[in-house]
Amino acid sequence: MSCPFNETQLADLKTFVDLCRSLPQVLNHPKLAFFKDYLISMGASIPKPATEATSKPAGDFKATEDSPMSSDEESELESDIELDMEGVIQGDSEDTSQVMGDLNKEPSDEERDQSDEKRAEAMKAFSEQQYDAAIKLYTEAIQLNPQSALLYAKRGQVYLKMNKPNACIKDCSRALELNCDSAAAYKFRGRAYRLLGMFEESSHDLCESLKIDYEDQTNEWLNEVKPNAEKLRQHKLSCQRKKEEKEHRAKLRRARKVQEARAKAAKAEAEQESGAGSGARNNPGGFNAQNFSDLFFDQEIMSAFQDPEVAAAFQDVSSNPANIIKYQNNPKIAAVIQKLQSKIGKGGAGFPGGFAGFGGTGGAPGSGKPPTDDDVGLD
C-alpha cells in the first residue's frame, strides 16, 4: 500500500512526533486526550503532568536538607551537650527471679494479714541492710497480696539500694498501675532514672512525687537532676526549631520548583500553539497534527484503505488529481472520500488530490466545467 500523504503532510507528522519525543508531557494536553488514550491502549507509558511530577522534592535536593532530622542525628547532637554524668551507673540486666504477682488474684483477709507480717519482716531486714532477705520477704508478701501498690514500691526501694535501677523501675511502674498517686513509686523510680542517666524522666517523676507528698530527700534528688534535665529540654527545643526551619525551607524549594515547572509547561504549550498557528497560516485549511490524528486513527478509514480498489484509486488520484473525476460514480470510493471530508474538512484541502469533485467547493460532476487546480486541492 502506498503512503496516502504527501511530503508536506509527512513533514507535519514528523514535527508532531519530534515534539512528543522532546516534550512528552504535551500528550497530557486535553486536546490530545484521544491520542494519549490510544497510546496507552497500545501499552505506552505516558509521563505524568508537570504539576504531579514536581509535587515531591526534586531529585537534585539533598535528603539531609529536605527530610526531618533522624533519630541518629538527634542522638549525635545530644552527645555534644555537656552533662554532669557523675553518679550514673550501668543498668542491670533483667532479673528473671523478679516475681510480679498475679493481678487477677483477690487475696483473702487471712492472706492480707500474712502479707502485712511479711512486709514488717522485710522492712526490718532492709533496715539491717540485709537486702537479699528483704527482697525475698517482699516477694512473699506480694504473692500473698499482689494488689498492694505499696509492696511493689518498697521492693523497688530495695532494688534501688542494690544498684538495680531497671528492676526498681519495673516494680515502681507496677505500683503506679495499681495506684497512680503513689508518691513512693514516683520517688524511687525517679531516682532509678537518674542512676541510668535519664535526667528528664527522673525530673518528671520526682516532680510528681513532690506534688503528691513533699519530702526533703525527694526535693534534694530533684535539684540534683534539674541542671541536666533543663539542658536536655533546651536542646530538644532547639532541635525542634531547626527541624521546623528545615521543613519550611524544603517546602519553599518545592513550591518554587512547582512554579518553575508550571512556567516551563506553559511556555512549551505556547510554543506549540504558536507553531500550530504558523502552520495554519502557511497552509490555511490544510493538514495538521489534529486532523492527521483524526484520520490516521479512524478504524473505518484505515480498513477502507486495505481494499486494493480504494488504495489503487487514491494512488491514481495522487499521481494526477484530475483523475478523481473517474471515480465520481463509484459508491465505494465516494463513501471513503465523504468520510475523509468529515474528518479533515470540507473540500479535503491539504490531502492528496483533494475532494472538490465530490461535493467540495470546486467544479462538481455535471456542472459543465472541468475541475480546476483549486477544485482538486493542488497548491
Comparing 74 with 313, the larger pLDDT belongs to: 313
Residues comprising the chain, all counted: 379
Comparing 119 with 24, the larger pLDDT belongs to: 119
Q: What residue has cell string 495506684?
A: 179
CA–CA distance, 176 with 56 (Å, rounded to integer): 46
Sorted by where each starts, the structural domains of the chain and their CATH numbers stand as 109-232 (1.25.40.10), 298-358 (1.10.260)
Model confidence at 63: pLDDT above 60: no
Q: What is the pLDDT of residue 171?
A: 96
Q: What is the pLDDT of residues 237-250, one digit of tens each?
A: 888 899 999 999 99
Instruction: Assign 304 a pLDDT band (cuts: 50, 70, 90).
Output: confident
Most confident of 57-66, 73-82, 174-183: 174-183
Model confidence at 298: pLDDT above 70: no
Comparing 295 with 363, the larger pLDDT belongs to: 295
| Residue 94 falls in which region: left (phi positive, over 0), alpha (psi -120 to 50) or beta | beta
Most confident of 209-213, 260-264, 292-296, 297-301: 209-213
- For 325-349, what is the mean pLDDT? 71
Helical residues (DSSP H) of the chain, grouped into ranges: 7-22, 33-41, 50-53, 63-66, 71-78, 109-127, 131-144, 149-161, 165-178, 183-195, 199-212, 216-282, 289-296, 299-304, 308-319, 331-344
Percentage with pLDDT > 90 across the chain: 36
Other Cβ atoms closer than 10 A to 355: 27
**Residue 314 identity:** F
- For 262-266, what is the mean pLDDT? 88
* Direct distance between the N- and C-terminal alpha carbons of the chain, in angstroms, rounded to an integer: 25
Q: What is the pLDDT of residues 190-226, one digit of tens each?
A: 999 999 999 999 999 999 999 999 999 999 999 999 9
Most confident of 184-198, 243-257, 270-284, 333-347: 184-198
Comparing 101 with 216, the larger pLDDT belongs to: 216
What's the distance, CA 133 to chain centroid?
A: 58
Q: What is the pLDDT of residues 121-134, one digit of tens each?
A: 999 999 999 999 99
Q: What is the pLDDT of residue 15?
A: 74
- For 306-335, what is the mean pLDDT? 79
Percentage with pLDDT > 70 across the chain: 72
Q: What is the pLDDT of residue 71?
A: 53
Model confidence at 353: pLDDT above 80: no
Model confidence at 41: pLDDT above 90: no
Q: Which of 84-93, 182-191, 249-258 has the lowest mean pLDDT?
A: 84-93
Q: What is the mean pLDDT of the chain?
A: 77
Model confidence at 16: pLDDT above 60: yes
Q: What is the pLDDT of residue 273?
A: 77
Q: What is the pLDDT of residue 378?
A: 40
- For 297-313, what is the mean pLDDT? 74
Q: What is the pLDDT of residue 296?
A: 53
Q: What are the angstrom distances between the C-alpha of 169 and each of 15, 58, 208, 241?
A: 76, 47, 15, 32
Count of alpha carbons within 13 Å of 275, Cβ hemisphere only? 15
Q: What is the pLDDT of residues 141-197, one digit of tens each?
A: 999 999 999 999 999 999 999 999 999 999 999 999 999 999 999 999 999 999 999
Instruction: Assign 25 a pLDDT band (cuts: 50, 70, 90).
Output: low
Q: What residue has cell string 510528681?
A: 208
Please report how the helices 289-296 and 331-344 are oriented relative to each other, as an axis angle in degrees rounded to 10: 140
Q: What is the pLDDT of residue 279?
A: 52
